Amino acid sequence: MSMPALLAELRSRNVKIWTEGDQLRCAAPTGVLTPELRDRLHREKSAIVQFLRSAERLSRQDRAIVPLQAGGERIPVFAVPGHNGNVFSFRFLAQELGVDQPFFGLQPPGIDGECEPLTRVDELAAYFAARIVAFQPGPYIIAGHCSGGAIAFELARELQRQGATVTVLAMFGTQYPSWFGRGTQLLERLAQHGEWLRHHIRMLVSLSNRERRRYVTARIAERRRQRLAARETRDDAEPDASTIHRANVAAATLTALRRYIPHHFTGRVALFYPNVDWMRQGNSMLLWRRVAANIEEHCGPDTSEGDVMLHAPNVRLIAEQFDDCSRRLETSGHFVPVRAG
């Protein structure tokens, strides 16, 4: 009798078995565990324990590794999403790369609510590395979008430490971890409010007195409608469990990023800026140059921004750049650094 058949027979008799360390535990209704069945379980103990552990690993792996494009013969991509753990943010990129490019999203623990989310980048990297290596041997392409790029950076370092080959690390619109600090975020919000104020001042200067009154009245009315709609949404929509779990993961990931200090990575890195403005002095994404010497850089279209750079239509150009980068490495084995102009 095969192991699955034996376990199916035990379930049919309401026999529950589980492992505690190296021990096999069993619970059953009175009279079900006959001497013959006890002897069988004793003889098959090692095989049952191994099977149950393997099933547990596969169960954890299935939650962590989400196939967005399972087929294909090329080096597989394992990609870390942004701070809310939504692996389907990569679906358009996976589609653009085509059916020959295996593409897997990496889902952080805590999304399903069955465990607490991790609050350290090195722990997240170790968690993903263990599941990737168990899933299949290298080489690998590691990728990350937005805040997930910092986790991907440490994941690539962890895989290297374990002796695995990381062909390239691709980071899409990934600000340096210091950008996520509370002080920096406050300055970012102040800058956004300042830009909003300058925009309206420019509009008011260009208008007549009557047009200014109409403009201000219209803006106030619009703000009131927005606040009323937001209040009604909060009152009417009871957050479901999935929304709560994602919010917990997002908060834990931000905590992890604020603690994280990247160290040098010796592998190949491809930085994908949403647009050319991101390459201007002062953007924190440029700081990745300090910790990765072997870098090439690409820019998305002018209409692209970090949160939508992997959405249509922006993703098409970015997918072409990524595909060109990965194919060069696959065919030549060499990495020729490229700097966007």
Q: Is the pTM of this model over 0.85?
A: no
- Collapsing DSSP to helix, strand or coil, 255 comes out as helix
**DSSP code, position 267:** S
Domains in the chain, start-ordered, CATH in brackets? Answer: 3-43 (1.10.10.1830), 61-179+251-332 (3.40.50.1820), 182-243 (no CATH)
The answer to whether the beta carbons of residues 89 and 147 sit under 8 Å apart is no
First to last CA, the chain: 66
**DSSP code, position 285:** G
> So what's the pLDDT on residue 99?
92
> So what's the pLDDT on residue 149?
96
The answer to whether the beta carbons of residues 104 and 131 sit under 8 Å apart is no
CA dist 177 → 154, 205, 235, 287, 307 (Å): 12, 39, 35, 9, 17
CB environment 6-38: b (16+ within 10 A), e (fewer):
bbeebeeeebebeeeeeebeeeeeeeebeeebe
The answer to whether the beta carbons of residues 254 and 153 sit under 8 Å apart is no
> So what's the pLDDT on residue 336?
47
- Residue 177's nearest CA partner among 293, 288, 273, 290 is 288
> So what's the pLDDT on residue 26?
82
Which residues, 6 or more positions from 174, have their beta carbon under 8 angstroms from its beta carbon? 144, 145, 146, 147, 148, 149, 150, 152, 153, 271, 285, 288
Q: The sheet that has 140-145: what strands, in order across it?
A: 65-69, 103-106, 77-80, 140-145, 166-172, 269-273, 295-299
Q: How many residues does the chain have?
A: 341
Q: How far is CA 57 from the centre of its chain?
A: 20
- In order along its 341 residues, the chain shows pLDDT tens digits of 567 677 777 888 888 888 877 778 888 888 888 888 888 888 888 888 877 776 666 555 557 899 999 888 899 999 999 878 899 999 999 999 999 999 999 999 988 888 889 999 999 999 999 999 999 988 999 999 999 999 999 999 999 999 999 999 999 999 999 888 665 555 555 545 555 566 657 777 777 877 777 877 877 787 777 677 656 655 555 567 778 888 898 999 999 999 999 999 999 999 999 999 898 877 889 999 999 989 999 999 988 887 889 999 999 999 999 999 999 887 765 544 444 44
> So what's the pLDDT on residue 337?
46
The answer to whether the beta carbons of residues 125 and 260 sit under 8 Å apart is no
Ranges of H-type helices in 206-313: 209-236, 241-259
Ranges of H-type helices in the chain: 3-12, 35-43, 45-64, 91-97, 121-135, 148-161, 182-205, 209-236, 241-259, 314-332
